[in-house]
Amino acid sequence: MIEIKLEKRPLPSRIEAFTYSVISVVFALAVSGAILKVYGVDPVSAYGIIVFHVFGSLPGISETIVKLIPLTLCGVGLTVAFRARLWNIGAEGQLLLGAIAATGVALFSGDLPSYVLIPLMFLAGFLAGALWGAIPALLKAVLNVNEVIVTTMMNYIAIELVRYLIYGPWRGAKEWGYPITDEIPDAAKLICIPGTRIHIATLAIAVASVILIYILITRTTFGFELRVVGGNPEAAKYAGVSYLKIVLLSMIISGGLAGLAGTGEIAGIHYRLRYPESISMGYGFTAIIVAWLARLNPLLVLVTSIFFGGLLVGGYVMKIMLGLPVAMVNIFNGSTLMSLLLCELLLQYKIKFIVKRREMH
């Protein structure tokens, strides 16, 4: 009879942590590769095609950066929430709320010049996302309601809200047949790097957020309190840290950053509100893995966003060139998360297999 025994390990070094993160990714590639094989596709050549198109061509790289923007913003926000042990699964919905707010401001604020309109849109996006995050935060802090379920439900509510608007009151007068809003005025559109879809303003905001949040977590009293709440909520009260304040603020930050991402998608890419699946192709969920793989370090989020951004682009490449469904990305994500889990465990415990022989007595 084989018994599995877990022995606790002393603290892992940074190199070990890095190695295991790499192993997780390799494992996920292997799992996805296996599924590709089942579909009759050779995984090695498939991966080769992806890498070439994604990282070896200009459109590939630029599209990766396009995806990186929302992933980074959401991912950085999640590092804050997760550090407080708040499982914010609702980045998806918070992003959509930001998109809604931005569109609303753009369509209905008359003839404002760019330098007023665009900051206004970002502000509205942040506030809307923050609000969407504050609701589950309040429920958790005051009533101890499970935030996983609430944020997930609010994702679905946000999706329906978008659909309601594009089919209903905000339906575009100028576009018939398609459920989309009017295009936002030119003053509301963000400038992109010529030849690409990279909207510069949001990219700058994303990079800035990485640095700011990093400083926030490591150097400020708020970051200190955040880590206390996440490390030992009991001790938080004892230390005089307000649980309510930290929970609320971290979800406001997390939701707000996601909202900024939503604004960016509208003002920089779509220029209108449309099907929710078109605006966010799982950015909110992918950001969870982005944050985890980055070990909740905002600086590393930039790195992991590049990787997962490239993966998303790769998913489309696979669809176009190989006819595979985009859902493959979901499988990759799921297996990455699972292997990350396993690696976390391997870091903490040494697994021993003990073969026990039955004794006679």
Please give the residue ranges that form the binding site for other proteins (CB under 8 A). Answer: 4-8, 10-11, 35, 87, 89, 139, 143-146, 148-150, 152-154, 156-157, 160-161, 163-164, 167-168, 219-224, 227-228, 230-232, 234-235, 237-240, 285, 288, 292, 325, 327-335, 337-338, 340-342, 344-345, 349, 351, 359, 361
Smaller CB separation from other proteins, 21 or 202: 21
Output the six-digit token pair for 103: 């569109």
Four-CA torsion 119, 154, 79, 247, nearest 10 degrees: 90
CA dist 101 and 120 (Å) reads: 10
Least separation in angstroms between CB 235 and other proteins = 5
Least separation in angstroms between CB 327 and other proteins = 3
Least separation in angstroms between CB 168 and other proteins = 5
Contact criterion met (CB below 8 Å) for 286 and 307:
no
Smaller CB separation from other proteins, 52 or 349: 349
Smaller CB separation from other proteins, 241 or 313: 241
Contact residues for 226 (Cβ-Cβ < 8 A; gap 6+): 80, 83, 84, 217, 246, 250
Contact criterion met (CB below 8 Å) for 74 and 256:
no
Smaller CB separation from other proteins, 96 or 269: 96
Residue 188: DSSP 8-state = G
Smaller CB separation from other proteins, 49 or 337: 337
Torsional sign, CA 331, 337, 339, 341: negative
Least separation in angstroms between CB 240 and other proteins = 4
CA dist 245 and 252 (Å) reads: 10
Smaller CB separation from other proteins, 123 or 331: 331
DSSP characters over 134-186: HHHHHHHHHH---HHHHHHHHHHHHHHHHHHHHHTTT--SS--SS---PPPPG
Least separation in angstroms between CB 111 and other proteins = 30
Least separation in angstroms between CB 297 and other proteins = 14
Least separation in angstroms between CB 114 and other proteins = 32
Smaller CB separation from other proteins, 130 or 154: 154
Contact criterion met (CB below 8 Å) for 251 and 145:
no
